[in-house]
C-alpha cells in the first residue's frame, strides 16, 4: 500500500519574526557567538544551535542569523533583510596609458632641460 502524501503547511509571507524554536525538537534555538579566524585574523561570527545540530553557516551578525532562520519553506519573512547590498555610487575610469606615457615624456624633457640649465651655469 502506498504511503499517504505528507501534508505541509506553506506560509505565504514566511515567518513574521525570528524563529524561536527548533523545527525538529521544539526546544529553544540558541544564537551563539563563535570566535574563528579569517585570513589569519580572529573574527567574531554567530552560529545557530538546536537540539542535536548546529548551523554550518556562520553569520556576521545576530540579525542575519535570525533573518536566515525565519524563512518558511523558502519564502522570505516580512522582517527587514539585514544583509547589506553593494551600491555603486560613482565610477572611476582607469587611467589611459597614452596619457601616462605623455606625462612621463614631459617630465623627462623637463628634467633634461633642468640638467642643461645646470650645465650652462
- Which among 22, 18, 15, 13 has a CA at the least distance from the CA of 66? 18
Q: What are phi and psi of 66, to 5 degrees?
A: -65, -45
Distance CA 107, CA 113 (A): 10
Strand partners, 30: 49
- Give the pLDDT of the chain (121 residues) as one tens digit per residue: 677 766 655 555 678 888 888 877 888 889 999 998 888 899 999 999 988 889 999 999 999 998 888 888 778 888 888 887 777 778 888 888 888 899 999 999 999 999 999 998 8
Amino acid at each position: 500500500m502506498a504511503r499517504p502524501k505528507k501534508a505541509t503547511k506553506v506560509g505565504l509571507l514566511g515567518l513574521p519574526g525570528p524563529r524561536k524554536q527548533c523545527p525538529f525538537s521544539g526546544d529553544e534555538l540558541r544564537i551563539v557567538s563563535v570566535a574563528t579566524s579569517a585570513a589569519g585574523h580572529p573574527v567574531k561570527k554567530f552560529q545557530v544551535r538546536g537540539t542535536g545540530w548546529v548551523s554550518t553557516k556562520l553569520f556576521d551578525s545576530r540579525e542575519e542569523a535570525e533573518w536566515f532562520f525565519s524563512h518558511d519553506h523558502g519564502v522570505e519573512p516580512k522582517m527587514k533583510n539585514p544583509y547589506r547590498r553593494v551600491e555603486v555610487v560613482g565610477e572611476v575610469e582607469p587611467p589611459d596609458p597614452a596619457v601616462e606615457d605623455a606625462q612621463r615624456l614631459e617630465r623627462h624633457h623637463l628634467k633634461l632641460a633642468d640638467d642643461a640649465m645646470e650645465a650652462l651655469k
